[in-house]
Amino acid sequence: DLPALAATFLNSDLLREVVFYEPPNFAMDGKWFIRGPKSKLARPLSILGKLQCGRFATRGEIFDGLGVNFGADTAGFYVRDGLIRHKSGTAGFQALSREGDGLRYRATMKMDPRAFLPFITAEKSRELIQRFAFKESSGIFFQIEGAGPGPTLKGTKSLARAELREFAYRGVEFDSAEGELVLDGPVQIYKNITGTRPEGRGEAREVYVDLQEQIVKLTGVKGRLDHAAVVSCFAPKIVPQITRYRLPFTTEAMVEGVIGMKDPRKTDLTVSFNSPGGTGHYPLWGKDYEITNPVGGLVFKQTVLAYDVSGGLFGRPMTAKGTVNLAPSRVPEYTVALSTGAMPCEVFGEVLPFEALTADVRAGKSGSVDFNVGATLLGGGFGMKGVFDARKTPGAYEGEIKIHAVSFKRFAQVYSPKFESEGDLTGHFQFTGVLDDWKALRGAGAAIIVNGNLYAIPVIGPLTPLLSKLIPSPIKGYNVTKEANCTFKIADGFIVTDDVEALTSTFRIVSKGNIDFIRDDINFEAQVRVRGLPGIVLRPISELLEYKGTGTVGNPRWQSNPFGIASGRKDGQRQVPDVNAGPMDGAGSVGGNGKPEKNGILPNSIKKLLPFGLGGPKQ
């Protein structure tokens, strides 16, 4: 009965929590000094002994057996040929401590180290062991030796060599890993580490962990592994910023620098990557863009992430640089400098091919987000700049769009592909609005088309077949507009214009009306004056060529409307706002007659009005 023996002769209750399932074999020879000077020493003994026992349990853990030889005298002690048997394997150990020489120990472990957690009081050592997870098929080999100043493990410096198979570290599964570990008080140094996972192999020259300073220093960490999984082993807090780029596992990644475990001001870390033949993802303007052959780097310095990414986008080169402040804040702080050869974007329900695009976006502590976008568009120029207020939800914005000398032929091919046209389009649009609220969009602008095809002009074009019936055949070029222009205003979901004018060699068309782009309804009036010789022939009736346009933007329907007989609103149409009046309060609900659109959902025909996500609902 070892617990009773220890309590009687050593005045110790340490063995009271041990349950032996069979009597242990214990033998000891030597001297016990009960009187004289040596009886006052910490070890008043000079003994040799051994212990052999079978199955026993302690602190909730069951062991299959224990064997050890030991010796002690007034100058020190030793433990030799120690062997612990456990269902997960075995652990062998030996130790020697002498006054003046300190403690030296060595252990070889081929079992799950978590079995010793109930006996480890040092929180830092417990936390290290708890990072590992093993299963029955795991292969475990630890060899550790160390030395220290005293008879206990406190203050010892240890060097371990490990080879592991089929295990997890901080929840990350590995097929195998091997390396060295130095334990020196609060400092843990992982050296010459290699690890394999199903997707590849990685390595680290050194990972320095200082639990007192709360820093992790990574040196020579690289490989073709899931880089987010590898970084999560040492710096889980920065993983979300890496995973957003969704790089493939074949990506070659390298990590160097320092991570502040609790204080981000200590962080100075660089993550670089290169994925020839692979793809990554870059989130921008609410969309996820696929980048081919991505290469770049992320630099985490204190609370700021700086990134520099390049690759291919829509088959053209692209680069993206910027910064993001990762510190918790009521408003986001970031910068974006984007340059790409191609950026298709949906405008008025069709995709326009923006090319040679540059974008500069800056969001500061004030909550103001300034944006400036430039590009070539259909052979001409495009520019959009403005400011967005990120302090509000939903955020308000204001800005201006300009286009210059855009090919009207290519524009018509996008919006009216059945009509051929020439000429170019120039215009500008100043606007204000609130994200995800079509009715809040307000603005004013102007547009001019030079030497275009009357057929291809939006809304007005389908009027041309009616006019052609009045023209004596043949008259060449009756449908070529020397110039078409208008000014317009936008409010409450309406585009309103009073001065659409198109000039051809034969006609002068003036029109006014509105487009309800929420309901996709149009309501236009047009008056046609015939010019030149036909005008002389038809002069008695030329002033009576009036027409009414209804339907949708994509399918306008024109009919003759002499004397304005067909003017007026249809049932269910919304009230057109007074675009010259200030705020559009009470200008009419989305559904007309004071009734909102069912479930607040816009018709499927309504698409984004402005490029890059401004103006319309989130897709």
pLDDT tens digits, 19-47? 999 889 999 999 989 888 888 888 888 99
Task: Report pLDDT digits (tens) over 456-476.
Answer: 677 877 787 777 666 655 444
Q: Which of 7-11, 274-278, 319-323 has the highest mean pLDDT?
A: 319-323
* CB neighbours of residue 419 within 10 Å: 19
Task: Report pLDDT digits (tens) over 127-162.
Answer: 888 889 999 899 999 999 999 988 877 788 999 999
CA angle 578, 442, 342 (to 5 degrees): 145
pTM of this structure: 0.73
Q: Which of 527, 518, 499, 526 is nearest to 576 (CA)?
A: 518
The pLDDT value given to residue 311: 93
The rounded mean pLDDT for the chain is 83
Task: Report pLDDT digits (tens) over 537-565.
Answer: 454 555 558 889 998 877 888 888 876 66
Q: In the block, which residue shows the tokens 């005298």?
A: 73
The better pLDDT of the pair 344, 619 is held by 344
Q: Which of 115-124, 192-201, 565-574 has the highest mean pLDDT?
A: 192-201
Q: Mean per-residue pLDDT for 232-258?
A: 79
- Asked if residue 504 lies in contact with residue 476, where contact means CB atoms within 8 angstroms, the answer is no
Q: Mean per-residue pLDDT for 77-88?
A: 95
Q: Is the pLDDT of residue 365 over 80?
A: yes
Confidence of residue 479 (pLDDT cuts 50, 70, 90): low
Q: Is the pLDDT of residue 108 over 90?
A: yes
Q: How distant, in Å, are the alpha carbons of 210, 263, 566 from that of 442?
A: 58, 46, 29
Q: Is the pLDDT of residue 51 over 70?
A: yes
Q: Is the pLDDT of residue 356 over 80?
A: yes
Q: Which of 431, 549, 531, 522 is nearest to 477 (CA)?
A: 531
Residue 574, φ and ψ in degrees, nearest 5:
-75, 155
Q: Which of 337, 342, 366, 340 is nearest to 353 (CA)?
A: 342
Q: Which of 465, 450, 544 is nearest to 504 (CA)?
A: 450
Q: Which of 530, 520, 517 is nearest to 467 (CA)?
A: 530
Q: Which of 533, 536, 559 is nearest to 548 (CA)?
A: 559
Of 100-109, 355-364, 463-472, where does mean pLDDT reach its minimum?
A: 463-472
Q: Which of 271-285, 470-484, 571-585 has the highest mean pLDDT?
A: 271-285
* The residue type at 469: K
% the chain with pLDDT above 70: 85
* The residue type at 366: S
Please say whether the dihedral angle defined by the alpha carbons of residues 34, 39, 43 and 48, taken in this order, is positive or negative.
negative
Of 186-190, 447-451, 465-469, 501-505, where does mean pLDDT reach its minimum?
A: 465-469
- Asked if residue 167 lies in contact with residue 133, where contact means CB atoms within 8 angstroms, the answer is yes
Q: Is the pLDDT of residue 395 over 90?
A: no
Of 111-125, 466-480, 491-505, where does mean pLDDT reach its minimum?
A: 466-480
The pLDDT value given to residue 25: 93
Confidence of residue 94 (pLDDT cuts 50, 70, 90): very high
Q: How distant, in Å, are the alpha carbons of 372, 427, 607 from that of 348?
A: 21, 16, 6
The pLDDT value given to residue 610: 53
Confidence of residue 256 (pLDDT cuts 50, 70, 90): very high
3-state SS class at 409: helix
Confidence of residue 529 (pLDDT cuts 50, 70, 90): confident
The better pLDDT of the pair 584, 579 is held by 579
Tokens at residue 85, please? 């048997």
Q: Is the pLDDT of residue 442 over 70?
A: yes
* CB neighbours of residue 571 within 10 Å: 6
Confidence of residue 355 (pLDDT cuts 50, 70, 90): very high
The pLDDT value given to residue 430: 94
The pLDDT value given to residue 618: 38
Q: Mean per-residue pLDDT for 231-238?
A: 74
Residue 228, φ and ψ in degrees, nearest 5:
-65, -40
- Asked if residue 148 lies in contact with residue 183, where contact means CB atoms within 8 angstroms, the answer is no
Of 123-137, 193-207, 496-510, 559-573, where does mean pLDDT reach its minimum?
A: 559-573
Q: Which of 121-125, 163-167, 246-250, 574-578 has the highest mean pLDDT?
A: 163-167
Q: Mean per-residue pLDDT for 331-356?
A: 88
Q: What are the E-state strand segments in 117-184? A: 132-148, 157-169, 172-184
Report the chain's C-alpha Rg in angstroms.
40
Q: Is the pLDDT of residue 193 over 90?
A: yes
* The residue type at 324: V
- Asked if residue 241 lies in contact with residue 298, where contact means CB atoms within 8 angstroms, the answer is yes
Q: Mean per-residue pLDDT for 58-77?
A: 93
Please say whether the dihedral angle defined by the alpha carbons of residues 125, 131, 136 and 141, taken in this order, is positive or negative.
negative
Task: Report pLDDT digits (tens) over 366-390.
Answer: 888 999 999 999 999 999 999 988 8
The pLDDT value given to residue 387: 92
Q: How distant, in Å, are the alpha carbons of 308, 342, 356, 387, 521 from that of 362?
A: 16, 22, 20, 9, 38
Q: Is the pLDDT of residue 421 over 50?
A: yes
Q: What is the DSSP string of 367-399?
A: SEEEEEEEEEETTEEEEEEEEEETTSSSPEEEE
Confidence of residue 441 (pLDDT cuts 50, 70, 90): confident
The pLDDT value given to residue 21: 92
Q: Mean per-residue pLDDT for 188-208?
A: 92
Q: Is the pLDDT of residue 431 over 80?
A: yes
- Asked if residue 425 lies in contact with residue 452, where contact means CB atoms within 8 angstroms, the answer is yes
Q: Mean per-residue pLDDT for 88-94?
A: 96
Q: How distant, in Å, are the alpha carbons of 48, 75, 141, 334, 382 from that of 29?
A: 5, 17, 35, 75, 97
* The residue type at 379: G
* Cα–Cα distance for residue pair 131/133, rounded to 1 Å: 7
Of 346-360, 395-409, 429-443, 565-579, where does mean pLDDT reach its minimum?
A: 565-579
3-state SS class at 56: strand
The pLDDT value given to residue 546: 87
